[in-house]
Structure 1
Amino acid sequence: MSDRHFELPAHPNAEYYRKQAKHLHHAYAAGDAAAGARVADALGDRAGERFLLSDAQFVLAQEHGFRTWPEFRAHIESRSTIEERPVSRLMGVMPGIYASMADTLLTELSRDSPGALRRLRAYVPRHATARSAATAGLRDARLIIARELGFPTWQELLSFTEKSRHDLSEHRRRRQRLHREAEALLTGNTDQLAQLTAEQADTLLHMLAGPETIPGVRLCKELGAPRAAVAVLLRKATDLDLPLTWAARFNRVGYVRLLLDAGADPGTRTLGITPLENAVYHGNTEVVDLLAVHAIVPQALWTYAACGRLDLVRTCFDGDGMLRPDAAPARPDLADTGAGFPSRLPPTDDPEEIIGEAFVHACQHGRIEVVRWFLDHGVHPDVAPYLGRTGLHWAIPGGHLPVIRLLLERGADPSLRDDLLRTDADGWLRISYAARPHDPEAHHLHNLITSGPTH
């Protein structure tokens, strides 16, 4: 059996999965080890007695969270479309990380945690009406993690993870071949850069978007290279949009500014994500502000809130204070950030959920006027649309003291723990400031969180 590094077709139907079952049946009969592991996971010792095509269909149904093949087939036939999700966000993530996440989730399931039960119901069809999570097993926990990351099964998550690690190795090898050219870029050797091809220029501009163009040379908010050298590459390049998306992710403020001035499109979607979405998700407020001057893409309540545009936030509500139907043409999905972590339950059309998304992103970027406006209009300070992460959790990594103080004044509970890391506000503080635990700001925030807003 070959590996399962494949993209699902746009509209997989029952016949597609019948062929997959036949493929599994033949691979198992041929003694393929991977097929044997999949079968054993679903059937246990029973597979040693017999393994028919109907058994292979049952394995596929189980891997997708259904009790039987007929239930799985009925689900497939009832769907007119299937969501396509990019997998590049998994780049380089070790499979053991996902196994550890599944083990942690299994512990929460066994404790019958309310958050774990909600995730179980949302992602494992055979448990859609479960009243308790205590009976769920490791297979269920693994499926939840896979589905939260946009993959139909645990097997496909692991398969694409391995493929992404291979792709990352290839990417690193290509970068290593341009080591001398990267040095020329950082030292400003325009004569050498002038000899490069357009493809090499594209690669170097992409490399400059990251924190380390050359290992050991750390790039931060500043451009980090002579402008004249970068200008040589900009004249040769064929694609400025990909570097912009990556520079927005890595908070390369000076580079983002230069790329925008050179004509990079802030509205482009690269790997399924816009530069603004990347900057918002990663808490890069300066980049958010730069991009918002050019364009807010997508135009939705949550991006308006993250950009601090209270005027646009207000336009998303009618005269009676009700959310307009067109306020959320696009919804945030943190699984596309590149961090490789699940982010939320499937989004619904509930206005409170949509408003909650906007609220926490306003907290994340310190948009105090927007945060105050939402609170004044009835938003609960502990609203948590993403796996239990409250506005307080979101505000802490950026050190947004005024917002944190306001949330606490309005009754935010710092003892609440999120569903993924099971960490309270002070725990998020320790994580966020792990590299600088003696920072006076961290000490101040700790006192504020533990003593209350009057401290």
Structure 2
Amino acid sequence: MTSPAELAFDKAHELIDARDLAGLARLIGDLPTLVHAHGKNGNDLLGMAAATRDERLCRLLLDHGADPASANVHGWTALHQAGYLGLPLLVTMLLDAGAPVDVSARGDGGTPLVAALFWGHREAAELLAAQSVSPGNLRVAAGLGRADLLDSLVAPDGTLTPAAGAHREFYRPHSGFPEWRPSDDPAEILDEALAWAARNDRSAAVRTLVARGAGVDSDVYRGTALTWAAAQGKASVIGTLAELGAAVNHRGTFGGLSHGKGVTALHLAVQGGHVAVVRALLEVGADPSVEDGLYSSSAIGWAEHFEQREILAVLRGA
């Protein structure tokens, strides 16, 4: 039988999903301990509110005593969620409330900063990095575009320091991505860092890493540097990667197994609705007729499926 406390928690969850600020305020006023309760997988109301992208709900919960350090069974905190979603206002709110920045989730090194950099959320990442560049490995340095850190971690001849590949147990933010085990292979560490530089639109870091041995078309984990840049809408780095020899029509992996087989950068730019990236890819020779390996559909077919009318016009014009 469901207990009264569980029923109240479920009700609070419903109010959060409905973005019902007034209703949530009344419920917490009647049951103040709800802000400290945990539901499935150890998730609390603050973490659930962060997932809705609604800073008002988070502010309400913090004002009623919610713990910004509270984590679920994966170690994931509200600050991880704010970084993961790229919400700079929420990042600032949680930092001001005392949320910890050096805690790991989903593996050693999975800090809120890494959650932000994984998806190329530069503004949120820079706010977090101002508090702590943790962990200070090569992929973090690359994602932040920190030339000083890159120079301290990888020599001009490509030799890595031990810190370059440390704390890389985190590799996916959720189970939608397939399992993988990062290794200590120096080439893998360099190539992974290149993808993190590209998804965060760090052209200078991309040039540095390629000059020091990173493979421009390497696919360390679910995507090359070019496909990650395209998927995250980073148009300016596209030309840099093409200039460095990236295969513009490479068909590779991306994201989950159900949609990431034989995709090109152009497919992913179309799916994301990134018009500027589509134009940039076409300028460097992307072929809109190349078919993916799962649906046997071209970028034009993807544009039709996702109803990207502006992109469809651009592709047909090309």
| TM-score when normalising by structure 2 | 0.70
Aligned-pair CA distance for 1:402: 1.6
Matches within 5 A, 1:193-204: 193-200=28-35, 203-204=44-45
Match of 1:337 among 173, 176, 182: 173
Q: Distance in 2 between matches of 1:325 and 1:237?
A: 35
The reply on whether 1:308 has 2:145 as its aligned counterpart is yes
For residues 119-166 of structure 1, the C-alpha deviation after alignment (integer angstroms, 9 at most, x for no partner) is xxxxxxxxxxxxxxxxxxxxxxxxxxxxxxxxxxxxxxxxxxxxxxxx
- Structure 1's 404 and 180: CA in aligned 2 closer, same or farther, altered over 3 A? closer
Contact persistence 1:188–1:226 (CA under 8 A): no
For residues 94-118 of structure 1, the C-alpha deviation after alignment (integer angstroms, 9 at most, x for no partner) is xxxxxxxxxxxxxxxxxxxxxxxxx
Aligned-pair CA distance for 1:318: 4.5
Aligned-pair CA distance for 1:265: 0.3
Q: Distance in 1 between matches of 2:18 and 2:63?
A: 14
One-letter amino acid matched to 1:328: G
Structure 2 residue aligned with 1:237: 67
- Structure 1's 340 and 309: CA in aligned 2 closer, same or farther, altered over 3 A? same
Structure 2 residue aligned with 1:292: 129
Q: Distance in 1 between matches of 2:58 and 2:189?
A: 44
Structure 1 residue aligned with 2:200: 365
Structure 1 residue aligned with 2:256: none
- Structure 1's 397 and 187: CA in aligned 2 closer, same or farther, altered over 3 A? farther
Structure 2 residue aligned with 1:396: 230
- Structure 1's 369 and 186: CA in aligned 2 closer, same or farther, altered over 3 A? farther
One-letter amino acid matched to 1:360: A
Task: Report how many aligned residue pairs link the two structures.
Answer: 264
Structure 2 residue aligned with 1:417: 251
Name the SS for the 1:450 alignment partner. Answer: coil
Contact persistence 1:266–1:275 (CA under 8 A): yes
Structure 1 residue aligned with 2:269: 429
For residues 68-109 of structure 1, the C-alpha deviation after alignment (integer angstroms, 9 at most, x for no partner) is xxxxxxxxxxxxxxxxxxxxxxxxxxxxxxxxxxxxxxxxxx
One-letter amino acid matched to 2:261: L
- Structure 1's 184 and 375: CA in aligned 2 closer, same or farther, altered over 3 A? closer
- Structure 1's 193 and 181: CA in aligned 2 closer, same or farther, altered over 3 A? farther
Q: Distance in 2 between matches of 1:300 and 1:374?
A: 14
One-letter amino acid matched to 2:97: A
Contact persistence 1:185–1:193 (CA under 8 A): no
For residues 15-39 of structure 1, the C-alpha deviation after alignment (integer angstroms, 9 at most, x for no partner) is xxxxxxxxxxxxxxxxxxxxxxxxx
Which has the greater radius of gyration? 1
Contact persistence 1:393–1:428 (CA under 8 A): yes
- Structure 1's 421 and 247: CA in aligned 2 closer, same or farther, altered over 3 A? same
Q: Distance in 2 between matches of 1:271 and 1:321?
A: 29
Structure 1 residue aligned with 2:307: none
- The sequence identity of aligned pairs, in percent, is 27
Q: Distance in 2 between matches of 1:271 and 1:381?
A: 28
Contact persistence 2:68–2:97 (CA under 8 A): no
Matches within 5 A, 1:342-361: 342=178, 344=180, 346-361=181-196
Matches within 5 A, 1:78-157: none
- Structure 1's 339 and 290: CA in aligned 2 closer, same or farther, altered over 3 A? farther
Contact persistence 1:274–1:297 (CA under 8 A): yes
Aligned-pair CA distance for 1:347: 3.4
Match of 1:210 among 44, 48, 51: 51
The reply on whether 1:264 has 2:99 as its aligned counterpart is yes
Aligned-pair CA distance for 1:332: 5.3
Contact persistence 1:426–1:450 (CA under 8 A): no
For residues 159-216 of structure 1, the C-alpha deviation after alignment (integer angstroms, 9 at most, x for no partner) is xxxxxxxxxxxx99944454457778734986764444344356331221112xxxxx
CA-based RMSD of the aligned residues comes to 3.3
Contact persistence 1:244–1:264 (CA under 8 A): yes
Identify unmatched segments of 5+ residues in structure 2.
1-5, 38-43, 72-76, 254-259, 288-317
Larger relative helix fraction: 1
Structure 2 residue aligned with 1:53: none
- Structure 1's 332 and 444: CA in aligned 2 closer, same or farther, altered over 3 A? farther
Q: Distance in 2 between matches of 1:250 and 1:448?
A: 30
Q: Distance in 2 between matches of 1:201 and 1:184?
A: 19
Q: Distance in 2 between matches of 1:231 and 1:445?
A: 43
Name the SS for the 1:413 alignment partner. Answer: coil
Contact persistence 2:143–2:202 (CA under 8 A): yes
One-letter amino acid matched to 2:125: V
Name the SS for the 2:163 alignment partner. Answer: coil
One-letter amino acid matched to 1:400: K
Q: Distance in 2 between matches of 1:181 and 1:332?
A: 32
Identify unmatched segments of 5+ residues in structure 1.
1-170, 212-218, 434-438
